[in-house]
Chains A and B, each alone.
Chain A
Amino acid sequence: MTAFRIPGVRRPGRLLAETAALLTAVVVAFPLYWMVLSALKPAGEIQSTEPRPWTLSPSLDSFRRVFEQQDFGRYFLNSLLVATAVVLASAVIAFLAATAVTRFRFRFRTTLLVMFLVAQMVPVEALTIPLFFLMRDAGLLNTLGSLVLPHLAFSLPFAIWMLRGFVRAVPEALEEQARIDGASHARFLWTILFPLVLPGLVATSVFSFISTWNDFLFAKSFLISDTSQSTLPMALLVFFKPDENDWGGIMAGSTVMTLPVLVFFVLVQRRLVSGLGGAVKD
């Protein structure tokens, strides 16, 4: 990132700004620090009414408890499966649709675009009831499919909308060149356009990944009786107990659930920021 300064700012002002930025960073990061710290605290220490911001004897007991007691590994895998399926399917489907609405002129094109826009505003949660009956009739209740399909539908409009800018940025001259070289349109689509749009796909994937990985409501509503199909959010709630919450377990489970998204985010961080910039710039 290149330095950007508003001219005329005096040095003391900048020092103040930098102190504020660092303090904000500490405050913003603190909940995550506390989560990992609490997950590593031994059982006795986490129940202390005078919590310390460090631990003298870190232990993996909470993690062990989580994985042993609750079949956590399986839920983790289920979550990962659902999110990956949604990301891959929505990338391909959104790429095709974004190409259609940017590289072709046809009737109802604008109508479709407006519909994709409006579709983003539909509150997913309001559709839980009809989707429940739809999934029941399709025999998909208690299967991971009942999570994949709705999330695919809900991430598509945003993905299409965001990808448009990236598809449009690819010069038309490339398509012409490919045609002169004798490439079919399908070939052009997958061997030239698709790789060029990949940075945009990465940025959109972050959003579909997160919204799917976060899912709580659908998992709660559609995976009702078969716990082997449960996903991580459900598993976490087991540690909330009416008498006393197992905070060590909750924090360890939360850490395990947060880590993959964090890793994914750090990996695509640059692409994400430039992707957002690209999507909102034009």
Chain B
Amino acid sequence: MTATATAPPTPPGAARPPARRPRSRTANSRTGTSAWTPWLYLLPALAVLGALLVYPVYQLGLISFLEYTQAQVSGGEPTSFRGLANYTALFADPQFRQVLLATVVFAAACVAGTLAVGCALAVLLTRVRALPRLALMLAALGAWATPAVTGSTVWVFLFDADFGPVNRLLGLGDYSWTYGRYSAFALVLLEVVWCSFPFVMVTVYAGIRAVPTEVLEAAALDGASPWRIWRTVTAPLLRPILAVVTIQSVIWDFKVFTQIYVMTNGGGIAGQNLVLNVYAYQQAFASSQYSLGAAIGVVMLLLLLAVTLVYLRLLRRQGEEL
């Protein structure tokens, strides 16, 4: 994955003869494969990605510069070029600025929560015998496998003001979680962490298992505390894996749509729980403001790319191969 972008020539563990590069090149001419063979293999993938990813990205950018509402879609009025007008309108809109802020804060909280829970439980898994480990693994697998839609419905039901068990358990009476802005966000956050920590836990656990036991034993013999071992031995060895799970979490949590839409009924009371995704959807498909929706999409795209690039740079500065 990310850590393997430009993998070192001979990564440990990969069974591969050292003289690989020159051999492959000469092999091409002898195996009946021509210089075009790799492109032939890539053709289906490139066709699909070109038509359904690259072209739509271009279209998204284009629409965001146009005047594109129901009138233009139905052909009633000609489409006109508006330049940056959609963007200026967007950033002048206080609701958009609020949604933007909410999205960033909410996604950051989701990422932090997911990583904290996932890593803590991965470490916990290494400390227990087979049976509790299996129990936790299976439970996590169940949460992981649960589709976002059904996870959302179940969590809303758990926290339902009238019929949910959580309020009874906590003695909250008929307190409505989805009514308040922050409690609604908190509820969605819980669901997001619940369904996305298993990926982090399983991946980090696999990573810890791959750390040679001798290294840990040596550290323990030297009298290092478990926390110290984690900080100075395990964590540095895990950094590539942590990079992968962090990036994946950022990507997933910035794009939370289903949970917000289902749990807060389309963005909460008076749109108090809107995030960029849902806001763009509402603008485009509920209000037919396609160009505004597209502009929001572009903002999201740029935001996500920026976050990822900053993170990649940070990793590279730390000496990671990327």
* Chain A residues with a Cβ under 8 A of chain B: 1, 3-9, 13-14, 17-18, 20-22, 24-26, 28-32, 34-35, 38, 46-51, 53, 92-94, 96-97, 99-101, 103-106, 109-110, 112-114, 117-134, 149-150, 152-154, 156-157, 160-162, 164-165, 168-169, 171-173, 175-176, 179, 184-185, 210, 213-214, 216-217, 221, 232-233, 236-237, 240, 247, 250-251, 253-255, 257-258, 261-262, 264-266, 269, 272-274, 276-277, 279-282
Q: Could you say which residues of chain B place their CB within 8 Å of the CB of A176?
A: 27
The answer to whether B157 and A7 have CB atoms under 8 Å apart is: no
B68 to chain A, nearest CB (A): 9
Interface membership of B284, Cβ < 8 A: yes
The answer to whether B151 and A5 have CB atoms under 8 Å apart is: no
Q: Could you say which residues of chain A place their CB within 8 Å of the CB of B55?
A: 130, 134
A220 to chain B, nearest CB (A): 8
Given contacts A122-B57, A160-B45, A216-B262, contact A31 B194 (CB under 8 A): yes
The answer to whether B59 and A216 have CB atoms under 8 Å apart is: no
Q: Could you say which residues of chain A place their CB within 8 Å of the CB of B145?
A: 210, 258, 261-262, 264-265
Given contacts A93-B45, A96-B41, A104-B38, contact A261 B146 (CB under 8 A): yes
Q: Could you say which residues of chain B place their CB within 8 Å of the CB of A94?
A: 45
Interface membership of B100, Cβ < 8 A: no
Q: Give the interface size class of chain B.
A: 35 or more
The answer to whether A14 and B308 have CB atoms under 8 Å apart is: no
Among candidates A30, A128, A254, residue contacting B150 with C-beta atoms closer than 8 Å: A254
Q: Could you say which residues of chain B place their CB within 8 Å of the CB of A51?
A: 163-165, 168
Q: Could you say which residues of chain B place their CB within 8 Å of the CB of A134?
A: 52, 55-56, 59
Among candidates A18, A20, A125, A184, residue contacting B129 with C-beta atoms closer than 8 Å: A18
Interface membership of B310, Cβ < 8 A: no
Among candidates B142, B147, B207, residue contacting A280 with C-beta atoms closer than 8 Å: B207
The answer to whether A213 and B147 have CB atoms under 8 Å apart is: yes
B175 to chain A, nearest CB (A): 13
25 contacts between A and B (CB under 8 A): A4-B126, A7-B217, A24-B136, A29-B138, A31-B155, A34-B165, A92-B44, A106-B39, A119-B53, A120-B251, A123-B297, A125-B277, A127-B56, A130-B294, A150-B52, A153-B51, A153-B52, A168-B14, A169-B14, A185-B31, A217-B258, A236-B153, A250-B157, A258-B146, A264-B145
Given contacts A127-B297, A128-B284, A156-B48, contact A282 B148 (CB under 8 A): no
Q: Could you say which residues of chain A place their CB within 8 Å of the CB of B258?
A: 214, 216-217, 233
Interface membership of B240, Cβ < 8 A: yes
How far is it, in angstroms, between the C-alpha of A197 and the C-alpha of B202 when the chains are bound?
21
Tell me whether chain A's interface is mostly helix, strand or loop, or mixed.
helix
The answer to whether A126 and B163 have CB atoms under 8 Å apart is: no
The answer to whether B220 and A7 have CB atoms under 8 Å apart is: yes
Given contacts A106-B35, A216-B258, 8 further A-B contacts (CB under 8 A): A22-B132, A22-B136, A30-B158, A31-B158, A97-B46, A125-B297, A247-B163, A280-B206
The answer to whether B45 and A130 have CB atoms under 8 Å apart is: no
By CB atoms of chain B within 10 A, which of A30, A255, A281 has the most? A281
Given contacts A4-B209, A5-B127, contact A38 B257 (CB under 8 A): no
B279 to chain A, nearest CB (A): 11
How far is it, in angstroms, between the C-alpha of A49 and the C-alpha of B155 when the chains are bound?
17
